[in-house]
Amino acid sequence: MRNVMKTSIGGGAAAALLAGVLALGGATTASAGVTGCSASGGKQEVGAVLGAVVGGLVGNKVGGRQPGLETVVGAGVGAAAGSAIGCEMQKDRVENRGTYTRGGYRLSSDIAPAAYSRIGQTFVATDGVNVRAAPTTSSARVGRLRAGERFEALAHVRGTDWILVGQGGVGVGYVRDDFVRPEGRRYARGY
């Protein structure tokens, strides 16, 4: 009897680990759910994976007649809960950063102000691109967007090829507009 119990728990741990790995693999390609947080960062994805593993283990332990099904359901519920918690942690990181207001925009204390024309929509990075402290390639790097990553485009910097990147309504840096596009537009550059 003892060997059967170890096999069942070991199988549940393996299923929970597999569910966590699948959640991590899906995090790189999904555009909503696990990666749908309005604040960029990796805490949401990590939370989803950890939640999937813990939820899968709990589901397997609590499961009765169908431990495999309970493991999968537990992993799904855990991934959703972990994802939500991770997203809130990402937002807190942005909101707790020092900010100032300039030209009607809240800006991170890490970036320089500029003259803006409001965009206020979601954009997507077409390539990996550095996020800069000022609208120039010689300014400090304050972050990076991965190819396919969605972000808030708060404004266009007047007279330049730069976009003000936002997190939770706060301007956190600048990217060149030839590395990004409005969400939903495949090739168009106009906005």
Mean pLDDT of 150-157: 97
The verdict on 83 and 119 lying in the same domain is: no
For residues 18 and 26, is the Cβ–Cβ distance under 8 A? no
State the pTM of this model. 0.52
The verdict on 107 and 170 lying in the same domain is: yes
Mean pLDDT of 164-181: 96
The verdict on 151 and 175 lying in the same domain is: yes
Query: What are the pLDDT digits (tens) for 42-68?
Result: 777 888 888 888 888 887 887 777 778
Instruction: Please tell me which residue, 66 or 114, carries the higher pLDDT value.
Output: 114
- Residue 191 lies inside a defined structural domain of this protein: no
Listed residues 35, 69, 95: the one ending a domain: 95
Residue 138 burial (CB count, 10 A): 6
For residue 124, what are the domain limits?
A: 99-182
Listed residues 30, 62, 95: the one ending a domain: 95
For residues 40 and 151, is the Cβ–Cβ distance under 8 A? yes
- Residue 188 lies inside a defined structural domain of this protein: no
3-class DSSP state of 132 = strand
Q: What angle do CA 167, 169, 172 make, to 5 degrees?
A: 45
- Residue 187 lies inside a defined structural domain of this protein: no
CA distance 164 to 5: 56
Mean pLDDT of 18-46: 54
